[in-house]
Homo-oligomer: A and B are copies of this chain.
Amino acid sequence: MPYRAPVDEYRFLFDHIVGLSHVVDTDRFAEATPDMTAAILSEAARLCEEVLYPLQRSGDLHPAKLENGVVRTSPGYADGYRAIADGGWVSISAHPDHGGMGLPMTVTTAVNEMMSSACLSLQLNPLMTQGQIEALEHHASDHLKATYLPKLVSGAWAGTMNLTEPQAGSDVGALRSKAEPMGDGTYALTGQKIYISWGDNDFTENVCHLVLARLPDGVPGTKGISLFLVPKFIPDENGAPGKQNSLKVVSLEHKMGLHGSPTAVMQYDGAIGWLVGEAHDGMRAMFTMMNNARLGVGGQGIGIAEGAYQHALAYAMDRKQGRTPVQGGPGSIIEHADVRRMLATMKADIFAARAIALACAQAIDMQTATDKPHWAARAAFLTPIAKAFGTDTGIAVAEMGVQVHGGMGFIEETGAAQYSRDVRVTAIYEGTNGIQAMDLAARKLMDGGEAAYALLDEIEAQAEAARASLPELAEPVWQAAESLREAVDWMLGHQDLNQRFAGAAPFLRGFARVLGGHFHLKAALTEAGDGPRTRLARFYITRLLPEHAGLLAHATQGATDLYALTPEDFAA
Protein backbone atom coordinates (compact mmCIF):
# COMPACT_ATOMS: atom_id res chain seq x y z
CA MET A 1 0.00 0.00 0.00
CA PRO A 2 2.23 2.83 -1.22
CA TYR A 3 2.13 6.47 -0.11
CA ARG A 4 1.66 9.02 -2.88
CA ALA A 5 2.55 12.64 -2.11
CA PRO A 6 -0.45 14.86 -2.97
CA VAL A 7 1.53 17.18 -5.23
CA ASP A 8 -1.43 18.27 -7.36
CA GLU A 9 -3.35 19.14 -4.22
CA TYR A 10 -0.57 21.41 -2.96
CA ARG A 11 -0.41 23.10 -6.36
CA PHE A 12 -4.15 23.70 -6.30
CA LEU A 13 -3.91 25.20 -2.83
CA PHE A 14 -0.92 27.35 -3.80
CA ASP A 15 -2.59 28.64 -6.95
CA HIS A 16 -6.24 28.96 -5.97
CA ILE A 17 -6.59 29.03 -2.20
CA VAL A 18 -3.66 30.81 -0.54
CA GLY A 19 -2.21 32.80 -3.41
CA LEU A 20 1.43 31.78 -3.55
CA SER A 21 1.73 34.13 -6.52
CA HIS A 22 1.65 37.15 -4.18
CA VAL A 23 4.63 35.67 -2.39
CA VAL A 24 6.50 35.06 -5.63
CA ASP A 25 5.77 38.63 -6.71
CA THR A 26 8.01 39.91 -3.91
CA ASP A 27 11.73 40.45 -4.39
CA ARG A 28 12.58 38.13 -1.52
CA PHE A 29 10.89 35.09 -3.08
CA ALA A 30 11.13 35.97 -6.77
CA GLU A 31 13.04 32.78 -7.47
CA ALA A 32 10.19 30.56 -6.31
CA THR A 33 8.62 30.51 -9.74
CA PRO A 34 5.87 28.03 -10.57
CA ASP A 35 8.41 25.91 -12.45
CA MET A 36 10.81 25.95 -9.54
CA THR A 37 8.02 25.06 -7.10
CA ALA A 38 6.82 22.24 -9.33
CA ALA A 39 10.34 20.80 -9.52
CA ILE A 40 10.78 21.07 -5.75
CA LEU A 41 7.50 19.35 -5.03
CA SER A 42 8.09 16.51 -7.43
CA GLU A 43 11.64 15.94 -6.19
CA ALA A 44 10.47 15.98 -2.56
CA ALA A 45 7.63 13.62 -3.47
CA ARG A 46 10.09 11.13 -4.90
CA LEU A 47 12.21 11.24 -1.73
CA CYS A 48 9.16 10.75 0.49
CA GLU A 49 7.56 7.99 -1.53
CA GLU A 50 10.65 5.97 -2.29
CA VAL A 51 13.14 6.59 0.49
CA LEU A 52 11.33 7.76 3.63
CA TYR A 53 8.01 5.92 3.57
CA PRO A 54 9.63 2.46 3.73
CA LEU A 55 11.26 3.52 7.03
CA GLN A 56 7.99 4.26 8.81
CA ARG A 57 7.37 0.76 10.08
CA SER A 58 11.04 0.06 10.72
CA GLY A 59 11.18 2.84 13.29
CA ASP A 60 8.06 1.56 15.00
CA LEU A 61 9.30 -2.02 15.24
CA HIS A 62 12.89 -1.15 16.14
CA PRO A 63 12.85 1.90 18.40
CA ALA A 64 15.88 4.06 18.90
CA LYS A 65 17.95 2.69 21.79
CA LEU A 66 20.47 3.97 24.28
CA GLU A 67 23.44 1.61 24.45
CA ASN A 68 26.35 2.48 26.75
CA GLY A 69 25.45 6.15 26.52
CA VAL A 70 25.19 6.10 22.72
CA VAL A 71 21.91 6.52 20.84
CA ARG A 72 21.42 3.82 18.18
CA THR A 73 18.82 4.87 15.66
CA SER A 74 16.34 2.61 13.88
CA PRO A 75 17.45 0.52 10.89
CA GLY A 76 17.62 2.62 7.74
CA TYR A 77 17.25 5.96 9.49
CA ALA A 78 20.87 6.98 8.88
CA ASP A 79 20.45 6.46 5.14
CA GLY A 80 17.09 8.19 5.18
CA TYR A 81 18.56 11.18 6.97
CA ARG A 82 21.46 11.30 4.53
CA ALA A 83 18.99 11.46 1.65
CA ILE A 84 17.15 14.32 3.34
CA ALA A 85 20.36 16.23 3.99
CA ASP A 86 21.91 15.57 0.59
CA GLY A 87 18.75 16.78 -1.13
CA GLY A 88 19.00 20.06 0.78
CA TRP A 89 15.65 19.41 2.48
CA VAL A 90 16.81 20.31 5.97
CA SER A 91 17.15 23.91 4.99
CA ILE A 92 14.84 24.71 2.12
CA SER A 93 13.55 27.79 3.91
CA ALA A 94 16.96 28.89 5.23
CA HIS A 95 18.34 32.11 3.80
CA PRO A 96 20.53 31.68 0.71
CA ASP A 97 23.20 33.75 2.51
CA HIS A 98 23.73 30.71 4.73
CA GLY A 99 23.45 28.11 2.01
CA GLY A 100 19.71 27.51 2.22
CA MET A 101 17.36 27.36 -0.72
CA GLY A 102 15.52 30.43 0.58
CA LEU A 103 12.18 29.02 -0.46
CA PRO A 104 8.93 30.39 0.92
CA MET A 105 7.51 28.87 4.10
CA THR A 106 4.43 28.01 2.03
CA VAL A 107 6.44 25.56 -0.04
CA THR A 108 8.41 24.38 3.00
CA THR A 109 5.16 23.60 4.78
CA ALA A 110 4.04 21.35 1.95
CA VAL A 111 7.40 19.56 1.86
CA ASN A 112 7.46 19.13 5.65
CA GLU A 113 3.94 17.76 5.50
CA MET A 114 4.81 15.09 2.95
CA MET A 115 7.90 14.08 4.92
CA SER A 116 5.61 13.70 7.95
CA SER A 117 3.25 11.45 6.01
CA ALA A 118 6.16 9.31 4.92
CA CYS A 119 8.04 8.98 8.21
CA LEU A 120 7.05 11.28 11.06
CA SER A 121 9.63 10.06 13.53
CA LEU A 122 12.53 10.83 11.19
CA GLN A 123 11.02 14.08 9.88
CA LEU A 124 11.00 15.45 13.41
CA ASN A 125 14.80 15.61 13.25
CA PRO A 126 15.16 18.14 10.37
CA LEU A 127 12.12 20.04 11.67
CA MET A 128 14.01 20.72 14.89
CA THR A 129 17.08 21.76 12.90
CA GLN A 130 14.98 24.13 10.77
CA GLY A 131 13.81 25.84 13.94
CA GLN A 132 17.35 26.16 15.21
CA ILE A 133 18.54 27.64 11.93
CA GLU A 134 15.82 30.22 12.15
CA ALA A 135 16.61 31.14 15.74
CA LEU A 136 20.31 31.54 14.91
CA GLU A 137 19.58 33.56 11.75
CA HIS A 138 17.61 36.06 13.80
CA HIS A 139 19.43 36.17 17.10
CA ALA A 140 22.95 34.71 17.00
CA SER A 141 26.24 36.61 16.76
CA ASP A 142 28.05 36.64 13.45
CA HIS A 143 30.67 34.30 14.87
CA LEU A 144 28.07 31.73 15.89
CA LYS A 145 26.31 32.09 12.57
CA ALA A 146 29.51 31.53 10.65
CA THR A 147 30.43 28.49 12.71
CA TYR A 148 27.07 26.74 12.96
CA LEU A 149 24.76 27.77 10.15
CA PRO A 150 26.63 26.14 7.24
CA LYS A 151 26.78 22.86 9.15
CA LEU A 152 23.13 22.96 10.16
CA VAL A 153 21.97 24.06 6.73
CA SER A 154 23.85 21.22 5.03
CA GLY A 155 22.50 18.75 7.56
CA ALA A 156 25.99 17.73 8.64
CA TRP A 157 24.97 18.77 12.16
CA ALA A 158 21.52 18.50 13.72
CA GLY A 159 19.74 20.87 16.10
CA THR A 160 17.50 20.35 19.13
CA MET A 161 15.37 22.49 21.45
CA ASN A 162 15.81 22.16 25.22
CA LEU A 163 13.04 23.88 27.14
CA THR A 164 11.28 21.46 29.44
CA GLU A 165 12.40 20.38 32.89
CA PRO A 166 10.52 18.04 35.21
CA GLN A 167 9.01 20.93 37.17
CA ALA A 168 8.83 23.29 34.16
CA GLY A 169 6.61 22.04 31.37
CA SER A 170 3.96 24.40 30.07
CA ASP A 171 5.33 26.86 32.61
CA VAL A 172 8.78 27.37 31.11
CA GLY A 173 9.45 30.21 33.53
CA ALA A 174 9.85 27.70 36.36
CA LEU A 175 13.05 26.28 34.91
CA ARG A 176 16.13 25.81 37.13
CA SER A 177 18.96 25.14 34.68
CA LYS A 178 21.84 27.51 35.31
CA ALA A 179 24.41 29.23 33.14
CA GLU A 180 27.61 30.55 34.73
CA PRO A 181 29.69 33.08 32.75
CA MET A 182 33.25 31.77 32.35
CA GLY A 183 34.75 35.18 31.62
CA ASP A 184 35.89 34.18 28.11
CA GLY A 185 32.55 34.73 26.40
CA THR A 186 31.40 31.18 27.09
CA TYR A 187 29.05 29.89 29.77
CA ALA A 188 28.93 26.71 31.81
CA LEU A 189 25.48 25.12 31.60
CA THR A 190 24.17 22.86 34.36
CA GLY A 191 20.78 21.23 34.66
CA GLN A 192 18.48 18.50 33.43
CA LYS A 193 16.15 18.79 30.44
CA ILE A 194 13.41 16.32 29.51
CA TYR A 195 11.40 15.42 26.39
CA ILE A 196 14.29 16.37 24.09
CA SER A 197 13.28 15.11 20.66
CA TRP A 198 16.29 13.68 18.83
CA GLY A 199 18.48 14.57 21.81
CA ASP A 200 21.17 12.54 20.09
CA ASN A 201 21.68 10.38 16.99
CA ASP A 202 24.33 8.25 15.34
CA PHE A 203 24.24 9.84 11.89
CA THR A 204 25.25 13.50 12.18
CA GLU A 205 28.75 14.68 13.05
CA ASN A 206 27.46 16.91 15.80
CA VAL A 207 24.25 17.72 17.68
CA CYS A 208 23.65 21.33 18.65
CA HIS A 209 21.38 22.02 21.59
CA LEU A 210 19.54 25.30 22.09
CA VAL A 211 19.14 25.39 25.85
CA LEU A 212 17.09 27.74 28.00
CA ALA A 213 18.79 28.51 31.30
CA ARG A 214 19.10 31.26 33.91
CA LEU A 215 22.17 33.46 34.38
CA PRO A 216 23.23 34.19 37.96
CA ASP A 217 21.58 37.61 37.78
CA GLY A 218 18.48 36.31 36.02
CA VAL A 219 15.24 37.15 37.83
CA PRO A 220 12.73 34.35 38.55
CA GLY A 221 10.14 33.66 35.85
CA THR A 222 10.37 33.97 32.10
CA LYS A 223 12.08 37.37 32.21
CA GLY A 224 15.22 35.90 33.70
CA ILE A 225 15.75 33.27 31.04
CA SER A 226 18.53 33.28 28.45
CA LEU A 227 19.18 31.10 25.43
CA PHE A 228 22.41 29.20 24.83
CA LEU A 229 23.85 27.13 22.05
CA VAL A 230 25.48 24.04 23.51
CA PRO A 231 27.10 21.62 21.05
CA LYS A 232 27.70 17.97 21.76
CA PHE A 233 31.22 18.36 20.37
CA ILE A 234 32.88 21.76 20.76
CA PRO A 235 34.01 23.07 17.36
CA ASP A 236 37.78 23.39 17.06
CA GLU A 237 39.54 26.35 15.43
CA ASN A 238 38.67 24.95 12.00
CA GLY A 239 35.02 24.60 12.92
CA ALA A 240 35.26 20.81 12.98
CA PRO A 241 33.73 18.85 15.87
CA GLY A 242 36.33 18.73 18.62
CA LYS A 243 36.24 17.93 22.31
CA GLN A 244 33.15 16.18 23.77
CA ASN A 245 31.13 18.65 25.83
CA SER A 246 29.97 17.90 29.39
CA LEU A 247 26.51 16.75 28.43
CA LYS A 248 24.93 13.36 28.00
CA VAL A 249 21.76 11.48 27.28
CA VAL A 250 20.64 9.98 30.58
CA SER A 251 17.78 7.89 29.22
CA LEU A 252 15.27 7.57 26.39
CA GLU A 253 11.53 7.49 26.95
CA HIS A 254 9.35 4.49 26.16
CA LYS A 255 6.52 6.10 24.24
CA MET A 256 3.06 5.28 22.87
CA GLY A 257 4.31 5.98 19.36
CA LEU A 258 7.01 7.77 17.38
CA HIS A 259 9.38 5.01 18.44
CA GLY A 260 11.91 5.93 15.78
CA SER A 261 12.45 9.34 17.37
CA PRO A 262 14.68 9.15 20.46
CA THR A 263 13.11 11.32 23.20
CA ALA A 264 15.90 12.04 25.62
CA VAL A 265 16.49 13.13 29.16
CA MET A 266 19.58 15.36 28.81
CA GLN A 267 22.01 16.11 31.58
CA TYR A 268 24.28 19.19 31.41
CA ASP A 269 27.15 19.25 33.87
CA GLY A 270 28.98 22.50 33.29
CA ALA A 271 28.70 22.09 29.55
CA ILE A 272 30.22 24.91 27.48
CA GLY A 273 27.68 27.08 25.70
CA TRP A 274 27.35 30.39 23.89
CA LEU A 275 24.72 33.03 24.47
CA VAL A 276 22.22 33.48 21.63
CA GLY A 277 20.64 36.92 21.56
CA GLU A 278 20.70 39.18 24.61
CA ALA A 279 21.04 38.02 28.19
CA HIS A 280 17.64 37.47 29.87
CA ASP A 281 15.95 37.73 26.49
CA GLY A 282 15.89 34.02 25.74
CA MET A 283 12.14 33.70 25.55
CA ARG A 284 11.93 36.14 22.66
CA ALA A 285 14.49 34.16 20.67
CA MET A 286 12.77 30.94 21.59
CA PHE A 287 9.43 32.28 20.40
CA THR A 288 10.90 33.08 16.97
CA MET A 289 11.73 29.43 16.68
CA MET A 290 8.61 28.17 18.39
CA ASN A 291 6.07 29.96 16.23
CA ASN A 292 7.26 28.32 13.07
CA ALA A 293 7.78 25.05 14.90
CA ARG A 294 4.12 25.25 15.89
CA LEU A 295 3.11 25.59 12.27
CA GLY A 296 5.48 22.70 11.51
CA VAL A 297 3.81 20.51 14.12
CA GLY A 298 0.42 21.40 12.71
CA GLY A 299 1.82 20.16 9.40
CA GLN A 300 2.88 16.93 11.09
CA GLY A 301 -0.73 16.36 12.09
CA ILE A 302 -1.90 17.00 8.54
CA GLY A 303 0.82 14.73 7.16
CA ILE A 304 -0.29 11.87 9.37
CA ALA A 305 -3.90 12.56 8.43
CA GLU A 306 -2.99 12.33 4.74
CA GLY A 307 -1.05 9.10 5.25
CA ALA A 308 -3.84 7.56 7.33
CA TYR A 309 -6.43 8.66 4.78
CA GLN A 310 -4.60 7.15 1.82
CA HIS A 311 -4.09 3.96 3.81
CA ALA A 312 -7.77 3.71 4.76
CA LEU A 313 -8.97 4.67 1.28
CA ALA A 314 -6.89 1.93 -0.33
CA TYR A 315 -8.32 -0.59 2.12
CA ALA A 316 -11.89 0.61 1.60
CA MET A 317 -11.55 0.42 -2.19
CA ASP A 318 -10.13 -3.08 -1.99
CA ARG A 319 -12.12 -4.72 0.80
CA LYS A 320 -15.39 -6.39 -0.22
CA GLN A 321 -17.99 -6.92 2.46
CA GLY A 322 -21.76 -7.15 2.43
CA ARG A 323 -24.30 -5.94 -0.09
CA THR A 324 -23.70 -2.34 -1.04
CA PRO A 325 -26.39 0.00 -2.29
CA VAL A 326 -24.45 0.92 -5.43
CA GLN A 327 -25.57 -0.89 -8.58
CA GLY A 328 -22.66 -2.02 -10.67
CA GLY A 329 -20.25 -0.40 -8.23
CA PRO A 330 -17.07 -2.13 -7.14
CA GLY A 331 -18.89 -3.72 -4.20
CA SER A 332 -16.17 -2.44 -1.91
CA ILE A 333 -16.84 -1.12 1.55
CA ILE A 334 -16.43 2.46 0.37
CA GLU A 335 -19.89 1.95 -1.12
CA HIS A 336 -21.37 1.59 2.39
CA ALA A 337 -22.77 4.89 3.58
CA ASP A 338 -21.05 4.98 6.95
CA VAL A 339 -17.62 4.13 5.49
CA ARG A 340 -18.15 6.81 2.83
CA ARG A 341 -19.10 9.27 5.57
CA MET A 342 -15.85 8.53 7.39
CA LEU A 343 -13.67 8.82 4.29
CA ALA A 344 -15.39 12.00 3.13
CA THR A 345 -14.98 13.48 6.62
CA MET A 346 -11.29 12.63 6.57
CA LYS A 347 -10.76 14.17 3.15
CA ALA A 348 -12.81 17.28 3.86
CA ASP A 349 -11.06 17.94 7.16
CA ILE A 350 -7.62 17.40 5.66
CA PHE A 351 -8.42 20.04 3.07
CA ALA A 352 -9.59 22.45 5.77
CA ALA A 353 -6.57 21.89 8.02
CA ARG A 354 -4.13 22.10 5.11
CA ALA A 355 -5.66 25.32 3.80
CA ILE A 356 -5.37 26.89 7.25
CA ALA A 357 -1.73 25.80 7.61
CA LEU A 358 -0.79 27.06 4.15
CA ALA A 359 -2.63 30.35 4.71
CA CYS A 360 -0.57 30.75 7.89
CA ALA A 361 2.63 29.95 5.98
CA GLN A 362 1.73 32.40 3.24
CA ALA A 363 1.20 35.13 5.84
CA ILE A 364 4.65 34.36 7.30
CA ASP A 365 6.15 34.70 3.82
CA MET A 366 4.39 37.98 3.13
CA GLN A 367 5.61 39.28 6.48
CA THR A 368 9.16 38.15 5.69
CA ALA A 369 9.07 39.72 2.25
CA THR A 370 7.15 42.94 2.92
CA ASP A 371 7.56 43.59 6.65
CA LYS A 372 3.94 44.76 6.74
CA PRO A 373 2.47 44.40 10.24
CA HIS A 374 -0.89 43.10 9.09
CA TRP A 375 0.81 40.03 7.66
CA ALA A 376 2.64 39.47 10.93
CA ALA A 377 -0.67 39.77 12.74
CA ARG A 378 -2.34 37.33 10.35
CA ALA A 379 0.49 34.80 10.78
CA ALA A 380 0.44 35.14 14.55
CA PHE A 381 -3.31 34.71 14.67
CA LEU A 382 -3.39 31.63 12.45
CA THR A 383 -0.43 29.86 14.11
CA PRO A 384 -2.25 28.41 17.14
CA ILE A 385 -5.20 27.43 14.94
CA ALA A 386 -2.91 25.73 12.42
CA LYS A 387 -1.14 23.87 15.23
CA ALA A 388 -4.16 22.74 17.23
CA PHE A 389 -6.58 22.07 14.39
CA GLY A 390 -3.87 20.40 12.30
CA THR A 391 -2.92 18.03 15.08
CA ASP A 392 -6.49 17.42 16.26
CA THR A 393 -7.34 16.58 12.67
CA GLY A 394 -4.35 14.24 12.55
CA ILE A 395 -5.60 12.43 15.63
CA ALA A 396 -9.22 12.28 14.50
CA VAL A 397 -8.40 11.17 10.95
CA ALA A 398 -5.96 8.50 12.13
CA GLU A 399 -8.65 7.30 14.54
CA MET A 400 -11.18 7.08 11.70
CA GLY A 401 -8.56 5.31 9.62
CA VAL A 402 -8.43 2.58 12.25
CA GLN A 403 -12.24 2.39 12.26
CA VAL A 404 -12.45 2.08 8.47
CA HIS A 405 -10.21 -0.98 8.75
CA GLY A 406 -12.59 -2.66 11.19
CA GLY A 407 -10.92 -5.50 13.08
CA MET A 408 -7.80 -5.11 10.95
CA GLY A 409 -7.38 -1.59 12.32
CA PHE A 410 -6.48 -2.91 15.76
CA ILE A 411 -3.83 -5.27 14.37
CA GLU A 412 -0.41 -3.63 14.27
CA GLU A 413 0.73 -5.23 11.02
CA THR A 414 -1.96 -3.26 9.16
CA GLY A 415 -0.22 0.05 9.89
CA ALA A 416 -3.40 2.01 10.67
CA ALA A 417 -2.77 1.87 14.40
CA GLN A 418 0.75 3.28 14.05
CA TYR A 419 -0.55 6.49 12.51
CA SER A 420 -2.86 6.83 15.48
CA ARG A 421 -0.12 6.17 18.03
CA ASP A 422 2.52 8.32 16.30
CA VAL A 423 0.36 11.40 15.85
CA ARG A 424 -0.89 11.49 19.44
CA VAL A 425 2.04 13.52 20.74
CA THR A 426 1.56 16.32 18.24
CA ALA A 427 -1.37 17.65 20.29
CA ILE A 428 0.98 17.80 23.27
CA TYR A 429 4.42 19.00 22.22
CA GLU A 430 5.35 22.53 21.07
CA GLY A 431 2.74 23.77 23.54
CA THR A 432 -0.29 21.59 24.23
CA ASN A 433 -3.39 22.34 22.22
CA GLY A 434 -4.87 23.83 25.38
CA ILE A 435 -1.96 26.30 25.45
CA GLN A 436 -2.60 27.10 21.79
CA ALA A 437 -6.24 27.86 22.59
CA MET A 438 -5.28 30.13 25.47
CA ASP A 439 -2.81 31.91 23.20
CA LEU A 440 -5.57 32.50 20.64
CA ALA A 441 -8.17 33.68 23.12
CA ALA A 442 -5.81 36.01 25.01
CA ARG A 443 -2.59 37.13 23.33
CA LYS A 444 -3.91 36.92 19.77
CA LEU A 445 -6.87 39.13 20.67
CA MET A 446 -4.69 41.78 22.36
CA ASP A 447 -4.96 43.84 19.18
CA GLY A 448 -8.59 44.45 20.08
CA GLY A 449 -9.64 41.74 17.65
CA GLU A 450 -8.18 43.44 14.59
CA ALA A 451 -6.65 40.27 13.12
CA ALA A 452 -9.74 38.21 13.94
CA TYR A 453 -12.16 40.71 12.44
CA ALA A 454 -10.01 41.12 9.33
CA LEU A 455 -10.38 37.38 8.73
CA LEU A 456 -14.10 37.50 9.43
CA ASP A 457 -14.51 40.37 6.99
CA GLU A 458 -12.77 38.34 4.30
CA ILE A 459 -14.89 35.29 5.01
CA GLU A 460 -18.11 37.28 4.85
CA ALA A 461 -17.07 39.22 1.75
CA GLN A 462 -16.38 36.02 -0.13
CA ALA A 463 -19.62 34.44 1.10
CA GLU A 464 -21.57 37.50 -0.01
CA ALA A 465 -19.95 37.42 -3.43
CA ALA A 466 -20.76 33.71 -3.70
CA ARG A 467 -24.43 34.12 -2.87
CA ALA A 468 -25.38 34.40 -6.51
CA SER A 469 -23.55 31.36 -7.80
CA LEU A 470 -23.54 29.00 -4.81
CA PRO A 471 -26.29 30.21 -2.47
CA GLU A 472 -26.72 26.90 -0.62
CA LEU A 473 -23.03 26.89 0.30
CA ALA A 474 -22.45 30.62 0.70
CA GLU A 475 -25.30 31.25 3.12
CA PRO A 476 -24.26 28.73 5.83
CA VAL A 477 -20.68 30.03 5.69
CA TRP A 478 -21.88 33.61 6.09
CA GLN A 479 -24.15 32.64 8.97
CA ALA A 480 -21.37 30.70 10.65
CA ALA A 481 -19.05 33.71 10.33
CA GLU A 482 -21.67 35.87 11.99
CA SER A 483 -21.90 33.43 14.91
CA LEU A 484 -18.13 33.43 15.14
CA ARG A 485 -18.10 37.24 15.14
CA GLU A 486 -20.42 37.17 18.13
CA ALA A 487 -18.07 34.76 19.88
CA VAL A 488 -15.11 37.06 19.19
CA ASP A 489 -17.14 39.96 20.54
CA TRP A 490 -17.89 37.90 23.63
CA MET A 491 -14.20 37.12 24.17
CA LEU A 492 -13.22 40.76 23.80
CA GLY A 493 -16.02 41.73 26.19
CA HIS A 494 -14.40 39.70 28.96
CA GLN A 495 -11.19 41.23 30.25
CA ASP A 496 -10.85 38.55 32.93
CA LEU A 497 -8.88 36.13 30.80
CA ASN A 498 -9.99 33.11 32.76
CA GLN A 499 -13.52 33.73 31.51
CA ARG A 500 -12.10 33.28 28.01
CA PHE A 501 -9.88 30.33 28.90
CA ALA A 502 -12.87 28.28 30.07
CA GLY A 503 -14.06 28.16 26.46
CA ALA A 504 -10.77 28.69 24.62
CA ALA A 505 -10.48 25.18 23.19
CA PRO A 506 -13.99 25.09 21.65
CA PHE A 507 -13.43 28.70 20.50
CA LEU A 508 -10.30 27.70 18.61
CA ARG A 509 -12.00 24.69 17.07
CA GLY A 510 -15.05 26.77 16.16
CA PHE A 511 -12.77 29.30 14.44
CA ALA A 512 -11.09 26.51 12.50
CA ARG A 513 -14.46 25.05 11.49
CA VAL A 514 -15.54 28.39 10.02
CA LEU A 515 -12.20 28.94 8.28
CA GLY A 516 -12.59 25.46 6.81
CA GLY A 517 -15.96 26.46 5.40
CA HIS A 518 -14.42 29.59 3.92
CA PHE A 519 -11.65 27.68 2.16
CA HIS A 520 -13.99 24.95 0.93
CA LEU A 521 -16.25 27.63 -0.51
CA LYS A 522 -13.24 29.22 -2.15
CA ALA A 523 -12.35 25.88 -3.73
CA ALA A 524 -15.91 25.39 -4.98
CA LEU A 525 -15.83 28.85 -6.55
CA THR A 526 -12.97 27.75 -8.83
CA GLU A 527 -15.35 25.38 -10.63
CA ALA A 528 -17.88 26.40 -13.20
CA GLY A 529 -20.24 23.52 -12.48
CA ASP A 530 -20.68 20.83 -9.88
CA GLY A 531 -17.14 19.41 -9.84
CA PRO A 532 -15.18 17.50 -7.20
CA ARG A 533 -14.29 20.64 -5.22
CA THR A 534 -17.92 21.66 -5.03
CA ARG A 535 -19.05 18.19 -4.02
CA LEU A 536 -16.50 18.03 -1.20
CA ALA A 537 -17.36 21.59 -0.13
CA ARG A 538 -21.01 20.61 0.03
CA PHE A 539 -20.17 17.66 2.25
CA TYR A 540 -18.14 19.87 4.59
CA ILE A 541 -20.51 22.80 4.71
CA THR A 542 -23.71 20.81 5.21
CA ARG A 543 -22.36 18.10 7.53
CA LEU A 544 -19.23 19.26 9.36
CA LEU A 545 -19.56 23.04 9.52
CA PRO A 546 -22.75 22.80 11.66
CA GLU A 547 -20.49 21.62 14.49
CA HIS A 548 -19.53 25.29 14.97
CA ALA A 549 -22.81 26.09 16.69
CA GLY A 550 -22.26 23.71 19.59
CA LEU A 551 -18.61 24.72 19.86
CA LEU A 552 -19.32 28.43 20.01
CA ALA A 553 -22.11 27.89 22.55
CA HIS A 554 -19.56 26.07 24.69
CA ALA A 555 -16.92 28.72 24.02
CA THR A 556 -19.00 31.54 25.50
CA GLN A 557 -20.17 30.02 28.77
CA GLY A 558 -17.45 31.64 30.84
CA ALA A 559 -15.59 30.34 33.86
CA THR A 560 -18.00 30.86 36.71
CA ASP A 561 -19.95 27.59 36.48
CA LEU A 562 -16.78 25.69 35.73
CA TYR A 563 -15.10 26.94 38.89
CA ALA A 564 -18.26 26.29 40.89
CA LEU A 565 -17.31 22.61 40.65
CA THR A 566 -15.51 21.79 43.89
CA PRO A 567 -12.66 19.30 44.36
CA GLU A 568 -15.24 17.03 46.01
CA ASP A 569 -17.49 17.32 42.93
CA PHE A 570 -14.69 15.94 40.80
CA ALA A 571 -13.79 13.19 43.22
CA ALA A 572 -17.30 12.03 44.06
Q: Which residues of A come within 8 Å of B, CB atoms?
A: 8-9, 164, 167, 169-171, 174, 194-195, 253-258, 313, 317, 320-323, 325-326, 330, 334, 336-344, 347, 395, 399, 402-403, 406-407, 409-413, 417, 420-421, 424-425, 427-429, 432-434, 437-438, 498, 501-506, 530, 532, 535-536, 538-539, 542-544, 546-550, 553-554, 557, 559, 561-572
Alpha-carbon distance A8/B543, docked complex (angstroms): 40
Residues of B within 8 A of A406 (CB): 169-170, 428, 432
Contact of A337 among B336, B395, B429, B502 (CB under 8 A): B502
Main secondary structure of the interface of A (DSSP, over half): helix
Smallest beta-carbon distance A418→chain B, Å: 9
Is A498's CB under 8 angstroms from B325's CB? Answer: yes
Residues of B within 8 A of A503 (CB): 341
Q: Other than the known A403-B432, A532-B572, what 16 A-B pairs have Cβ atoms closer than 8 Å? A: A167-B320, A195-B407, A256-B410, A317-B570, A334-B570, A338-B504, A338-B505, A402-B428, A403-B434, A535-B561, A535-B564, A542-B553, A547-B547, A547-B550, A549-B549, A550-B550
Is B410's CB under 8 angstroms from A428's CB? Answer: yes
In the complex where A407-B429, A420-B256 touch, is A170 in contact with B321 (Cβ < 8 A)? Answer: yes
The winner among A342, A410, A420, A559 for most chain B CB atoms within 10 A is A410
Contact of A410 among B424, B543, B554 (CB under 8 A): B424
Smallest beta-carbon distance A56→chain B, Å: 16
Alpha-carbon distance A85/B323, docked complex (angstroms): 42
Is B340's CB under 8 angstroms from A572's CB? Answer: no
Sorted from nearest, which 8 A-B pairs have the closest CB atoms? Answer: A337-B501, A171-B322, A338-B434, A546-B553, A256-B417, A546-B550, A547-B550, A532-B569
Residues of B within 8 A of A337 (CB): 498, 501-502, 504, 559, 562-563
Alpha-carbon distance A433/B437, docked complex (angstroms): 31
In the complex where A171-B321, A325-B498, A546-B550 touch, is A539 in contact with B559 (Cβ < 8 A)? Answer: no
Is B417's CB under 8 angstroms from A402's CB? Answer: no
Is B421's CB under 8 angstroms from A256's CB? Answer: yes
Is A343's CB under 8 angstroms from B413's CB? Answer: no
In the complex where A406-B169, A568-B532, A570-B334 touch, is A562 in contact with B164 (Cβ < 8 A)? Answer: no
Alpha-carbon distance A399/B423, docked complex (angstroms): 12
Residues of B within 8 A of A395 (CB): 399
Smallest CB-CB separation from A168: which chain B residue?
A: B321
Is B562's CB under 8 angstroms from A340's CB? Answer: yes
Residues of B within 8 A of A570 (CB): 313, 317, 334, 343-344, 347
Is B428's CB under 8 angstroms from A407's CB? Answer: yes
Contact of A433 among B403, B410, B535, B557 (CB under 8 A): B403
Is A557's CB under 8 angstroms from B536's CB? Answer: no
Smallest beta-carbon distance A521→chain B, Å: 15
Alpha-carbon distance A140/B334, docked complex (angstroms): 39
Smallest beta-carbon distance A80→chain B, Å: 23
Smallest CB-CB separation from A408: which chain B residue?
A: B169
Residues of B within 8 A of A8 (CB): 572
Contact of A411 among B171, B253, B542, B569 (CB under 8 A): B253
Residues of B within 8 A of A428 (CB): 402-403, 406-407, 409-410
Residues of B within 8 A of A313 (CB): 570-571
